[in-house]
Each structure stands twice: as C-alpha cells, then as structure tokens.
Amino acid sequence: MFDNFVVPDLLPAAPELFLAFMALVILLVDLTVKDSRRTLTFALAQLTLLGCAAIQLFTSTGDVVYTFSNMFVDDLMADLLKLFLYMTVIVVLFYSRGYVIDRAAMNKGEYYVLALFATLGMMVMISANHFVTIYLGLELLSLSLYAMVAMNRESVVCSEAAMKYFVLGALASGLLLYGMSMIYGATGTLEITGIAERLYGGGVNKSVLTFGLVFLVAGLAFKLGVVPFHMWIPDVYHGAPTSVTLFIGSAPKLAAFAIVMRLLVNGLITMAQDWQAMLIILSVLSMAIGNLAAIAQTNLKRMLAYSAISHMGFMLLGITTGVVGGDARFALNAYSSAMFYVVAYVLMSAGTFGVILLMARAGFEADELDDFKGLNKRSPWFAGIMLMLMFSMAGVPFFIGFFAKFAVLQAVVAAGYIWLAVVAVLFSLIGAFYYLRVVKLMYFDVPVDPSPLSASMDMRVLISANGLAVALLGIFPQMIMSLCAYALLRSL
C-alpha cells in the first residue's frame, strides 16, 4: 500500500509546520496561565510569528520549489508575501492588545490562537499550487475569522455580523468549489501548473472551462470583497469588534492577492482575455459603488469598509492589464504594481484602524466620525498621524498611497486602457472627499470629549512608526517596488 509513497520535502513548508505546532502549544500553555492580561500567551504568539519570519528567511532558496506531490510551492513571491503577512499580524496583535484587555468577553487565549490559525490558513493559500490546498487554506482562514468576529458573545451586533459572514462565506466557498470542479472536469487535473500545461496543449472543452471560470472568479471576487459580491464587507466591518475588523481589513488582502495570481495568472493565463473582461467590470463597479457609498457613511468603520471595496477594485486594474491581446510584455510591470498596491493598502489600513483602537476604551468604540472631532486639540501628534494616513488613502502626493495608485495607473496606460485610467482617476477624486472630511473634523471642529488622549508607550511608538512609514515609503518607494518586481520575475 505504501510502496509508492514518497516522503515530501518538509523544508519549504517549515514555517507552516512551526506555526501549527506553536499554535497548539500556546493553546495548551494558556490553560495553565492564571494572568488575567494573558501576557504570556500574547508574548508567545508574537515570538511564534518572529520565528516564522526567521525560518522563512533561512529556508528561502530563491528558486521555485514544489513539495507534497506538487500541491505546495515555495517561491520568492510566496516568501515576500509571507514576510509581509508576519509583520502585519505582529502589528495587528500589538494594536489589539489594549482593546482586548479592556473587554472581558474577548480577553481569552483563544483570541491569539485563532489569529495564528487564520495566519496559517493565509500562509497555505499563498503557497498553494493545487485546488485542494487553496480550499484548505481558505477554510482554515474563514472558520478562524467567523469565530473571531463572534468572540464578544455579549454583543448582539457581533453575533449578527458573524452569522452574516458565515452564511455568505459558505455561499462563496460553494461558488469557488463549483468553479474548481468544472475546471477539473475540463482539464482532468486539480494541480494549477498541470492546468496551465493542459491548456497550452489544447484539446480542452472550452465551454465547460469558461463556465467554471465564471464561478471561480465569482468566488475570488467574494474573498476580495469587490462588487457585486461585497454585501458582507460593510456589515462585518461594522459589526465585528474593532480589533477583529483591523485583522480582516489587512492581512487577508495579501492572501487574496496570492490566490488570484496563482489561479488566474499561473493556471489560467491562456484564458486571460476571458477573465480580464470580468475583472474590468468588477473593478469599475467596485471603484464606483465603493467610493460613492462611502460618502454617505457616518460610521468610520463602514466608511473604511466601502473604501476597502474601492481599493480592491483599484488593485484589480493591475492584474487586468498584465496581458493585452495575448501579448505579455507588460505583465511583470502590471502584476508588480498590483502587488505593491496591496502591500501599501495593508500598511495604510493597519495604521488607520490602529488610531481607532488607540481612541477606543472600555465601553466606547470610537468608530463614529463625530468621535474624531477636534482630535488635533486633544493630541496634535496622533491627529498628524491620522492626517498622513487619510492623505495616503486618498492618493495625495507624496505618500505611499499616491505611488501605489500611480504605479497601477501607469501600468493601465502602458497597456493601452486610457479610458480605464481616466475612470480610475475620476473615482479616486470622488474618494478623496470622504478622507478629507475626516481631516476637516480633526482640525476644524470642536471636540466632543476635550480630555487629552492617553496611550501606552508601545502603542504610541508603533502607531508613530506606522504613520511615518506611510510618509517615508511615499518618498522612497523604490525598495518595495523593486522587491515586488524581483519576486514576481523569479516566481512567474
């Protein structure tokens, strides 16, 4: 029975194995901890993520390595995205710490363990080279997030958000699985590189394949949160505890970008003209509805939810313009601009929610726009950080958000889609309104609560570093841009 069994090379998956082992260890250790602040659990979770980053750096060869019967791939794109992922989750857990301690219903070791399992799911998604691996990673991430959204069981709003997320998430998983089964039926393989080979070879049932592609794109669109599969985002962002909204609004975007690249670019590149048409529609609708709906919001979390929809629509422009009329000359430029955009968005999103968490306290969420009135009088430094983050989100020069938008637009124009670039710029101008409204409230309105803003030293340092990173990487964006381009050049 085991005569043909080949022992897989475990080295490419060493960070995943280490994280899975440590998550189980932390779960057991937490049972013995009597400290109500969960300091040991928090410290172990952070050390685990740092350990994963160290292992990732030491085991990276720079080559494309397949293992587990070609179901798992380790390449430079995966290495770079995972390193960004570890940094993001470390920052997210630091930001969440004070918020979680203030709320007894959430101050449990399971919070950190679920965050680690969600991270493991994202790592598996980033390195997936097989439909089954993608689905395993996706479900591990999704189930962890459903539980995190529902953690505050005393809140009816949180329970409702978790239920909506669960039901719509199950529907999206069904769409994705149905699309995968159709593609398997057309090609006879579940392996992504194998699908690409079959498509190059020809003789594949094109109508079945196209049908499967439609369902696959629909499932991916849900996970990215783009129109018309965006219904869950505003309700989940608003209803979830703010620390969980921060987690959902940042790290999973990196994994979603990775599976779009794996499925559409690595596996279905010969069908680029079919999926490009779909992505253009999704992108334009997302920028339109995301930016227009955000203007009407009075709740900051809902506003940022619609903002996320428009940003993901903008990111899709980069992936859309990689192949033009069968010509892949612009592919590397377009895909690296999309990757840079995702990294920039995650950095900005984490900082923005970090400021909201900084202002929150026990029994008070600080998620209404009015809560930011007169912030400059309460704390000029944090008002300045929020101003930089809002300017960057709006695409004002010279912050990282401006260069992220500029890189994508330059790729769109180079590919000949002038009208698409014009549409994107118009909707970005509309979007600038609701970001600048936050700046106006902070600097020109009278504060509702005039008391000075107090924060722990680690929170002050981290938010300051986050805000300054947005400014400095806007002035010197070349390093991350070059890293993205080099990683994709060695991986695709």
Number of domain units in the chain: 1
Query: With 80 as the cut, is the pLDDT of residue 223 above it?
Result: yes
Q: What is the length of the chain? A: 492
233 part of a folded domain: yes
Q: pLDDT-derived band of residue 362, with 50, 70 and 90 as boundaries?
A: low
Tell me which of 258-262, 264-268, 324-328, 368-372 is least confident. 324-328
422 part of a folded domain: yes
pLDDT at 202 (0 to 100): 76
Q: Which residues contact 427 (CB under 8 A, 6 or more apart)?
A: 287, 288, 291, 310
pLDDT in tens, 64-97: 899 988 899 999 999 999 999 999 999 999 999 9
Q: What is the CA radius of gyration of the chain?
A: 22
192 part of a folded domain: yes
Query: With 70 as the cut, is the pLDDT of residue 325 above it?
Result: no
6 part of a folded domain: no
The mean pLDDT value for 364-386 works out to: 87
Q: Are 65 and 73 in contact (CB under 8 A)?
A: yes
pTM: 0.95
The mean pLDDT value for 216-221 works out to: 92
Beta strands, E only, 306-460:
none
Strand partners, 364: 361
- Give the rounded percent of residues in the chain with a pLDDT score beyond 90: 63
CA distance 306 to 284: 14
Query: With 80 as the cut, is the pLDDT of residue 449 above it?
Result: no
pLDDT in tens, 33-67: 887 788 899 999 999 999 999 999 999 888 889 99
| CA-to-CA dists, residue 454 to 246, 358, 361, 378, 384, angstroms | 21, 8, 10, 9, 16
Q: Which residues contact 62 (CB under 8 A, 6 or more apart)?
A: 76, 490
CA distance 407 to 332: 12
Q: Return the closest-CA partner of residue 379 out of 436, 466, 449, 435.
A: 449
pLDDT in tens, 379-434: 899 999 999 999 999 999 889 999 999 999 999 998 888 999 999 999 999 999 99
253 part of a folded domain: yes
CA distance 332 to 76: 14
3 part of a folded domain: no
1 part of a folded domain: no
Residue with tokens 């022992």: 7
Mean pLDDT (the chain) is: 90
| Domain membership of residue 395 as a residue range | 11-491
397 part of a folded domain: yes
